[in-house]
């Protein structure tokens, strides 16, 4: 019902004496989007700067005085929520604090700081702090959608460290709610709808069923969430957490938020073991009441935040539009499993 297609290419070259064989290249197509990507295994042998060991903390790691997300200045330097949305100027749970993004991407654009710790090395985050931060995100989305039902295209994202796009090292999530869907939300929700119309089945549940039957890309579970390596990755060591038959962030139980936090932290510990210190995370939903797009958290490693690290987006990704990674998803899953206990 979904195509898991792998095409193999043999490169036309004669390797220099003493050099290992260049090996095959795989072109894979994402069963959900049909987007192609490449696995260029030989390039795993290239020296990748900044990954011999976990990079040292960045220069900004100790600079708490100029950080707008640190206490006590967070209460002075960050914006407050429009009173038409919330009686409280900022949302708080434990040490987590949520406020609008001072540099917004849309009408409802917010930041949820995880806790008071300014620099948290990857893999050492506190599970309760993450839970509080995610619940703040949910509460904000609930307030936005109560006030503006059109803002139904929602997302929670994370840029961990500046090399992943984070403007500050202080760990935080971004929240977005918009009447206008972004490219991925527009495409995925249309695809989930048409798949349901044509087959009577749910898109991500069908994907997950295939993966549960095969097993080679499965990593583990945290409660109701299933974690697996993406079949056709569009980022390095791409991991998905799928919550089948769940469509709305507003309807998640607290237990499921806690399980999501556990999966995110397990992924961080896996990335740390690979000497990678940054990543992007995304969780998208259409809060329409009749969306067929099930919940999926995507997490990808980004180029290390360290001096002279090489960017992970080359001309191939930026100009040709196909991601080229070096590691087979089956290998990613095999290596990650131990972090799911």
Point out which residues bind Zn ion (CB under 5 A): 67, 69-70, 118, 170
Cα of first residue to Cα of last residue in the chain, in angstroms, is 32
Pull the structure tokens for residue 259: 């399980």
Instruction: Please report how many Cα atoms fall inside a 13 Å half-sphere around the Cα of residue 105, on the Cβ side.
Output: 16
In whole angstroms, how close is the CB of 266 to Zn ion at the nearest point?
A: 25
How many whole angstroms separate alpha carbon 236 and alpha carbon 299?
9
Looking at the Cβ atoms of 125 and 229, the one nearer to Zn ion is 125
Pull the structure tokens for residue 197: 């119309």
In whole angstroms, how close is the CB of 132 to Zn ion at the nearest point?
A: 17
In whole angstroms, how close is the CB of 118 to Zn ion at the nearest point?
A: 3
In whole angstroms, how close is the CB of 58 to Zn ion at the nearest point?
A: 12
Looking at the Cβ atoms of 170 and 226, the one nearer to Zn ion is 170
In whole angstroms, how close is the CB of 130 to Zn ion at the nearest point?
A: 17
User: 319, exposed or middle or buried, with CB in 10 Å at 0-12, 13-18, 19+?
Assistant: exposed
Between vectors from CA 178 to CA 153 and to CA 167, what angle results, nearest 5°? Answer: 105
Looking at the Cβ atoms of 195 and 305, the one nearer to Zn ion is 305
Looking at the Cβ atoms of 97 and 274, the one nearer to Zn ion is 97
CB 134 within 8 A of CB 147: no
Looking at the Cβ atoms of 118 and 153, the one nearer to Zn ion is 118
List % helix, strand, coil for the chain (3-state, nearest 5): 30, 25, 45
In whole angstroms, how close is the CB of 56 to Zn ion at the nearest point?
A: 18
Pull the structure tokens for residue 37: 């990507």
How many whole angstroms separate alpha carbon 157 and alpha carbon 173?
6
Q: What three-state secondary structure class fits 132?
A: helix
Looking at the Cβ atoms of 103 and 308, the one nearer to Zn ion is 103
In whole angstroms, how close is the CB of 66 to Zn ion at the nearest point?
A: 9
Q: Count the neighbouring beta carbons within 10 Å of the beta carbon of residue 70.
A: 18
How many whole angstroms separate alpha carbon 236 and alpha carbon 246?
26
Pull the structure tokens for residue 293: 């797009």
Looking at the Cβ atoms of 69 and 227, the one nearer to Zn ion is 69
Pull the structure tokens for residue 30: 């994402």
Tell me how far CA of residue 148 lies from CA of 8, 90, 108, 129, 246, in angstroms: 49, 19, 10, 29, 22
Pull the structure tokens for residue 161: 């460290």
Looking at the Cβ atoms of 43 and 117, the one nearer to Zn ion is 117
In whole angstroms, how close is the CB of 111 to Zn ion at the nearest point?
A: 12
Looking at the Cβ atoms of 171 and 241, the one nearer to Zn ion is 171
Count of positions (residues) in the chain: 341
In whole angstroms, how close is the CB of 60 to Zn ion at the nearest point?
A: 9
């Amino acid at each position: 019902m979904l195509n898991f297609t792998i095409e193999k290419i043999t490169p036309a070259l004669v390797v220099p004496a003493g050099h290992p064989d260049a090996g095959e290249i795989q072109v894979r197509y994402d069963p959900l989007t049909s987007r192609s990507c490449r696995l260029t295994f030989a390039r795993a042998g290239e020296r990748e700067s900044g990954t011999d060991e976990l990079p040292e903390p960045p220069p900004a790691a100790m600079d708490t005085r100029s950080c707008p997300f640190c206490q006590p200045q967070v209460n002075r330097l960050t914006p407050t929520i429009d009173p038409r949305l919330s009686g409280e100027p900022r949302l708080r749970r434990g040490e987590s604090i949520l406020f609008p993004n001072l540099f917004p991407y849309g009408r409802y654009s917010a930041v949820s700081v995880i806790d008071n710790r300014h620099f948290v090395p990857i893999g050492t985050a506190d599970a309760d702090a993450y839970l509080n931060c995610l619940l703040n995100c949910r509460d904000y989305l609930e307030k936005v959608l109560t006030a503006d039902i059109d803002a139904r295209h929602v997302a929670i994202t994370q840029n961990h460290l500046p090399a992943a796009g984070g403007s500050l090292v202080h760990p935080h999530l971004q929240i977005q709610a918009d009447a206008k869907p972004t490219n991925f939300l527009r495409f995925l929700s249309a695809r989930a709808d048409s798949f349901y119309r044509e087959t009577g089945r749910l898109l991500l549940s069908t994907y997950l069923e295939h993966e549960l039957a095969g097993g080679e890309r499965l990593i583990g579970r945290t409660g109701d969430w299933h974690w697996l390596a993406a079949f056709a990755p569009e980022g390095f060591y791409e991991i998905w957490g799928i919550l089948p038959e769940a469509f709305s962030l507003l309807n998640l139980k607290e237990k499921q938020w806690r399980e999501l936090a556990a999966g995110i932290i397990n992924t961080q510990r896996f990335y740390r073991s690979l000497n990678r210190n940054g990543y992007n995370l995304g969780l998208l939903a259409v809060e329409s009441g009749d969306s067929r797009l099930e919940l999926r958290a995507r997490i990808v490693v980004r180029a290390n935040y360290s001096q002279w690290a090489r960017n992970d987006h080359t001309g191939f990704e930026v100009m040709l539009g196909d991601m080229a990674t070096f590691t087979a998803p089956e290998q990613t899953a095999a290596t990650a499993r131990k972090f799911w206990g």
